[in-house]
A and B are shown apart, each in its own frame.
Chain A
Amino acid sequence: MNARWLILCMVLFCMPLPPTYAQEETVSAANVETSWILSSSPGPHEEVIGKKPEIRVFFTVVPVAGSITTLLDGVDITPLIVPTGNGFIYKPVFQVAPGPHELTISGEDSEGNLLQAVLPFRTRHTKSFEEATLNADVTGVYTTTLRKDAHDGTTPYNAVTVEGMVQGRISEGANAFSFEASPVYVEQDKPLGAGSVEKGPDLRSFLLRGEHTGERLQARAEFGDVSVDETPFTVQGLLRRGLKIDLGYGNGALSFFTVRAPAIYGVRNTWGLRYEKDSQITGGSASLFLPCLRTDVKATFLTGEDDSTLTYGISGIETGRRTGDIASLRITSQIIPAALIADFEAAYSRYDFDDADEFGKVSDTAWRAALAGAVNQYSYDLKYEYYGRDFESIALQGGTKDREGIYFTGNALFTYHSMSIMASAFWDNVDDLSIMPRTTSIPLALDYSYTRFAQVPMGFSVYHERVKTKDEPAGFDPFDTVTDSISGRIGYIREKWNTDLNVTYTYVNDRTRADLDTSSGSYSLAFTLTPTAYWTISLVPNLVQQKNEKTNVRTDIYTTTLDLRTQPVRDLIYWDLMGSHTVADATDDSLDMETTTVSTRLACSLKRYSPTQLHPVIALKGYYQRMKDKVADTKTDEFAVFLAFEINGTFGL
């Protein structure tokens, strides 16, 4: 064993190292002679106030012309410096981030001696704050209706909308405060339809954030529309109005959040400041990283109530007040970093789907164990999951429950090929209740892409799934279906145009006595033409067919979409159009419908007559929609034309 090590060390010692073009020279402020620099602004270690501070350097020994190389924070700015006879001036192109910077200058004197200097300096935005930025972007639109249908009682004759985004940030040392808010204003002479947007001023979303980034202690507090992300069993990707606090010290971290259960648009109804007893989710987590074991241990708990049915962006069937709490323990370990990562989570939930009924909270458990990793061009994910019959998190409503199963996904990425496979098997009725059947589902999937020809990307996917019941109670018809789906895709990409063909065919074989087989196909061809950077035309014909194999009834839906984004006169005239034509037809004459939709805008930019920060535009807009239902013998036409004046302003400090 020792001899092997000795040989290996000798081989490594004798291996030639890659040559470099000159001796590696680590230039630092400490060891570089700067006597050839007479003065500079900013001076060495000086702190200057400004976002684009002008840099001036004066030499005592002027380097030979063409020999100067100047780097600012490692970026070569030599082509942008302006020589001044005995020095140079540099006016930064981009904003210089606040904090420490390093200007490195090198050259040769007339005798060929190497001249080098490093000038460290600091910048700050204002005297009070190291960083202080404020950016605002506002767009106002006034629209007047030139023509609309006589029966159209909802389209306003005059409407005004103002929308904006304001972002700001100040920081000093390890502390920072930032905010972003999106003010909007809507007014029109007709009532707005029922929905999220309301007349008058509003803030569609906002977020205030305070941060401390110390060497040991990190802290962050957020108020507004915050995103809560803990573990897969408790809460993930929950964007809600409320408060969130994260603390980190060394290898430990604490998190606390309290957010409103329903999604909220705007602040007209609530800022989310008040704790709502019936619709609030509150929780927290504590985690500890054990470096010696490369393991993270995290405990999470949350509790909450939700009485919402239709909230912003979300609608569901449940109507009562749901209450629940959940606790989880998660352990993640990098057994072999990147190659073998183990992830384990166990959770316990108590949940009441309607606290007005006679049933109280029901408790249950869930757990999962997963192994994942990547080795060279291969990656894999293998996991077992168990969700109890009554398991539910108040923050993940509608999620999985009453299921256990094993899942595997594998990916391989080669130079010209990539492939992924998925295989799983899962069962429900985990408690084996005799009143219900037990269902077994076995889905298998394969996806393959061939990328040898960059101009002709292609691939295919295959999907197979069997769903079957067993132990059916009396009176229950067995369920046994096999679903097979195959899809293919191929594209052709050229500089000025490209096309893409997608085809999918699915057959569902009902293996029970009912024999209710169905099939469906989807055929889509996308064609995009870009003759210049200012013209894009997309045409997408699409056919979707579904067929009941037992009754032989087939439904066809043909859709053709046209999308046009153009500038007939660059930066002056804009013409955009989106249109679609859909024909839906069933062979049993139960459906025969045509829908045509066109929306367009012809605009003229008035930017040349306005200050730089303003973008005024005058536009003619219109839409047309025609729906013809031959079965119901109805036809509707909607047509409206508008004149709009739009102005956008962008401001920054």
Chain B
Amino acid sequence: MKFMKRTLRILMFVLTLVWGANSANALSISTTPASVNAAYGQSTSVAIHYRFDTPLQQPLLSPNGRFFFNDTLIGTVNRSLNCRYTASEVLTIPQHIVETVRRAGGSSFTFSRNFHGTVHSSPSVGPDYFSADGNVTIHITPGSVAAFSLRRIELYFDNLQRKNETMVPRNFKGLRAYADIYYNGSGMLNGYWDVDGLIIERVNRFVPSGGKMTLATPDIPDLPTFDPGYHIVKFIVTAPAASFEVPEIVYWVRGVDEPVKRPLVLITPQDGSDIPADFSFTWEKMEKAAVYLVSFSREEDQSVCFSALTRNTAYQIPPPVLSRYFTAGKMFLWSVKSYDTENNVIAESGAWRFSLPEPPKP
């Protein structure tokens, strides 16, 4: 009797499964995109969206995703996904899967997710068993025409030295962060620069095929440097979906101000003048200036040929110097810098041209 009961239960269960399997035929699933291009020689990340044709009362589970080539299982993504009506995931197509297919002589393969489970539609009817497969066809392509996807992000501050951390004085001007973005394909890149959790610029631009581009924080305004302490910079990408965490870099602001460098106004001689040998070079007095450095350079190579220190706002080239460093008829440049008592440059002029006349012929 007991055996009969057990047999009946098993039979009921098998019937339920069969009935459930029949119900699954009624459920279909669509994937977007239906096919993607995966880069050869790289891993590729793509966002996959699944959608049932009918919303269910309870979600179905897909315990993993599987890569198939010619109906042979070649890899598994051990990440479960629940779907009641729609679901999304960022799928990373590993480089070794692409390599496996290429070595087998294939040009495309499939990623498949099976969603299954029982759903209690109503108390009067028993549980319904559902099972549906969502498939994405993957083509192997060169990186330039692969699905637009990010491969790597590198952040740094200094465009030349690629410093990934720095310290600047307060109110330093011109601090910018850079992001080298390595990617496959081409498309619209959306994201934003974030400093200490505050959005400082949104980026929304078309990225041509090429594999790498460099983004920078704006020039005006530059990164905020008015608050001493440390500040964390991130570039957060919102599209395309990335499968990796966002990197960050840190800059520190010192508690002392960047010296304000003001323009220093030259007075005489006027730019481009011919001047006599005993002419005085003059400029406007600068507040807090402890000393002025007057520099003279040759126009042809801009190299400094002579300089002088003075506390006055006028300077006359001494005759011994004139004969040693200057040549009549040639064009020279002169400029002035002023320094405070701590030897910081507090003002700087532009360079003006002058020439000395030919000496009278005997």
**What class of interface size applies to chain B in its complex with A?**
35 or more
**Residue A637, interface by CB 8 Å:** no
User: Which chain B residue has the least Cβ–Cβ distance from A356?
Assistant: B96
CB pair B99–A315 under 8 Å, yes or no, is no
A313→B107 contact, CB < 8 A = no
Which residue from A20, A139, A315 sits with its C-beta under 8 Å from B245?
A315
A475 near B319: Cβ-Cβ < 8 Å: no
Residues of A within 8 A of B151 (CB): 316-318, 398
Of the candidates A78, A310, A508, which one forms a contact with B206 in the assembled complex, judged by CB atoms under 8 Å apart? A508
**Does residue B167 face the partner (Cβ distance < 8 Å to A)?**
yes
Within 8 A of A (CB), among B193-238: 196-202, 204-206, 208-212, 218-221, 224, 226-230, 232
B131-184 at interface with A (beta carbon < 8 Å): 137, 139-145, 150-156, 161-165, 167, 171, 182
**Which residues of chain A come closer than 8 Å to B102, judged between CB atoms?**
433, 435
| CB closest residue in chain B, given A507 | B206
Q: Does A441 contact B (CB under 8 A)?
A: yes
Contacts of B306 in A (CB 8 A): 74, 76
- Using Cβ atoms and an 8 Å threshold, which residues of chain B touch A467? 144-145, 186, 208-209
Q: A313-B164, A540-B221, A648-B254 are in contact. Are A357 and B230 (CB under 8 A)?
A: no
Q: Which chain A residues in 16-46 approach chain B with CB under 8 Å?
A: 18-25
B40 at the interface (CB under 8 A from A): yes
Bound Cα distance from A576 to B144, whole angstroms: 45
Q: Does A296 contact B (CB under 8 A)?
A: no
B13 on the interface (CB 8 Å rule)?
no
Inter-chain contact B244/A93, CB cutoff 8 Å: no
CB within 8 Å for A184 and B252 given contacts A314-B247, A402-B142, A546-B188: yes
| A263 neighbours in B (Cβ, 8 Å) | 164
Q: Is the CB of A20 within 8 A of B327?
A: yes
Name the one of A22, A186, A204, A389 contacting B319, with C-beta atoms under 8 angstroms: A22
Q: Are B228 and A139 in contact (CB under 8 A)?
A: yes
Of residues 236 to 255 in B, which have CB atoms within 8 Å of A's CB atoms? 242-250, 252-255
Q: Does A122 contact B (CB under 8 A)?
A: no
Do A601 and B227 touch (CB < 8 A)? yes
Given contacts A93-B290, A265-B250, contact A78 B318 (CB under 8 A): yes
Let me know if B208 and A615 touch, CB within 8 A: no
Name which of A279-287, A341-349, A558-566 contacts chain B: A558-566
Q: Mark A318-331, 1 if CB is under 8 A from B, else 0.
A: 10000000000000
B residues 316-332 near A (Cβ < 8 Å) are 318-324, 326-330
Q: Which of A25, A227, A438, A439 has the most CB of B within 10 A?
A: A439
Task: Determine if A540 and B209 form an interchain contact, defined as CB atoms under 8 angstroms apart.
Answer: no
- In the bound assembly, the distance between CA atoms of A171 and B238 in angstroms comes to 52
Q: Chain B residues with Cβ under 8 A from A578's Cβ?
A: 200, 221, 224, 226
Interface of chain B, main secondary structure: mixed
**Chain A contacts for B28, CB-based, 8 A:** none
A546 and B188 alpha carbons, distance in the complex (Å)? 9
Name the residue on A nearest B96 (C-beta). A357
Q: How far is the CA of A87 from the CA of B298 in the complex (A)?
A: 34
A354 nearest in chain B by CB position: B96
- How many whole Å from B163's CB to the nearest CB in chain A? 7
Q: Which of A214-222, A244-252, A520-528 lies at the binding interface?
A: A520-528
Question: Is there contact, CB below 8 Å, between A576 and B171?
Answer: yes
Spot the interface stretch: B2-10, B56-64, B112-120, B307-315.
B307-315
The distance in angstroms between the C-alpha atoms of A428 and B145, with both chains bound, is: 10
- The reply to whether B256 and A648 form a contact with Cβ atoms under 8 Å apart is yes
Complex CA distance for A106 and B315, rounded to whole angstroms:
18
Answer yes or no: B260 CB below 8 A from chain A CBs. Answer: yes
A residues with a Cβ closer than 8 A to B are 18-25, 69, 71, 74-80, 93-94, 106, 137, 139-141, 143, 161, 163, 165, 182, 184, 186, 195-197, 204-205, 227, 237, 239, 263, 265, 309-318, 353-354, 357-359, 389-390, 397-398, 400-402, 428-429, 433-439, 441, 443, 465, 467, 469, 473-476, 479, 481, 483, 495, 500, 506, 508, 518, 520, 522, 526, 528, 533-534, 538, 540, 544, 546, 555, 557, 559, 561, 563, 565, 574, 576, 578, 580, 582, 584, 595, 597, 599, 601, 615, 617, 621, 623, 625, 644, 646-648, 650
* Selected A-B contacts with CB under 8 Å, 8 pairs: A71-B321, A80-B309, A93-B291, A389-B41, A443-B208, A599-B227, A615-B256, A650-B256
Q: A22-B322, A80-B310, A476-B107 are in contact. List 20 more A-B contacts (CB 8 A).
A: A19-B359, A20-B326, A161-B229, A197-B232, A239-B163, A313-B154, A315-B246, A317-B152, A317-B243, A397-B152, A398-B151, A428-B142, A428-B143, A467-B186, A473-B107, A540-B220, A546-B204, A576-B226, A580-B201, A625-B199
